[in-house]
């Protein structure tokens, strides 16, 4: 419970405690609910199939949805080689690798630990934004990131103690 509380406070501080627009907040809450369902369903699915099989179903489903949307809206493909490289990077680095590794990890550490470890995502995002795009890191963001890291360390130590016992 302490790790969950630290992660929630840390995430709030990392993304900005000032709040936001109602629609944005609604999307964030909906995202959390959908992600929770994804983790719970994924855990059950991983008992019956491999990470490769479940990843293939996820990507095939996403491809089918995108294909249907493209049929109605028309294709909007990159117009340069840099655009194609960017798209390939998004597909591989931001989609295929994270989904496959998340599902493989979910199978090994369970839904609760996977969800808690996923809270490190805002920290990584903020650090990458600072490094790649030169965004300034505010003190409150660093404090939030620190709280998230403490939560992950608490969770990891708890998990290691449970395995030893």
Q: Which residue has the tokens 């939560």?
A: 151
Q: Please, are residues 89 and 122 in contact by the beta-carbon 8 Å criterion?
A: no
Distance CA 15, CA 164 (A): 36
Higher pLDDT, 71 or 26: 71
Q: Please, are residues 42 and 106 in contact by the beta-carbon 8 Å criterion?
A: yes
Q: Please, are residues 43 and 111 in contact by the beta-carbon 8 Å criterion?
A: yes
pLDDT digits 0-9 by tens, 102-150: 888 887 888 877 777 777 777 788 888 889 988 887 888 888 888 888 8
Domains in the chain: boundaries: 2-164
Given this model, what pLDDT does residue 151 score?
85
Percent over 70 (pLDDT), the chain: 94
Q: Contacts from 98-102 at CB under 8 Å and sequence distance 24+?
A: 99/55, 99/58, 99/59, 100/51, 100/52, 100/55, 102/42
Per-residue pLDDT for 81 more than 80?
A: yes
Distance CA 127, CA 145 (A): 9
Distance, C-alpha 77 to centroid of its chain: 26
Per-residue pLDDT for 29 more than 90?
A: no
Given this model, what pLDDT does residue 19 score?
65
Instruction: Specify the pTM.
Output: 0.60
DSSP state of 66: H
Please provide the average confidence, as pLDDT, over all residues in the chain: 83
């Amino acid at each position: 419970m302490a790790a969950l509380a630290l992660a929630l406070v840390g995430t709030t501080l990392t993304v900005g405690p000032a709040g936001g627009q109602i629609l944005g907040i609604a999307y964030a809450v909906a995202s959390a609910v959908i992600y929770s369902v994804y983790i719970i369903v994924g855990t059950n699915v991983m008992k019956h199939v491999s990470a490769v099989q479940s990843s293939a179903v996820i990507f095939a489903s996403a491809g089918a949805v995108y294909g249907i949307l493209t049929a109605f809206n028309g294709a909007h493909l990159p117009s340069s080689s840099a655009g194609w490289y960017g798209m390939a990077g998004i597909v591989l680095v931001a989609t295929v690798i994270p989904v496959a590794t998340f599902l493989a990890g979910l199978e090994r550490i369970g839904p609760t630990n996977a969800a808690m470890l996923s809270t490190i995502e805002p920290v990584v995002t903020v650090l990458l934004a600072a490094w790649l795009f030169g965004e300034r890191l505010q003190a409150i963001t660093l404090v939030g990131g620190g709280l998230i890291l403490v939560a992950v360390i608490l969770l990891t130590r708890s998990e290691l103690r449970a395995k030893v016992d």
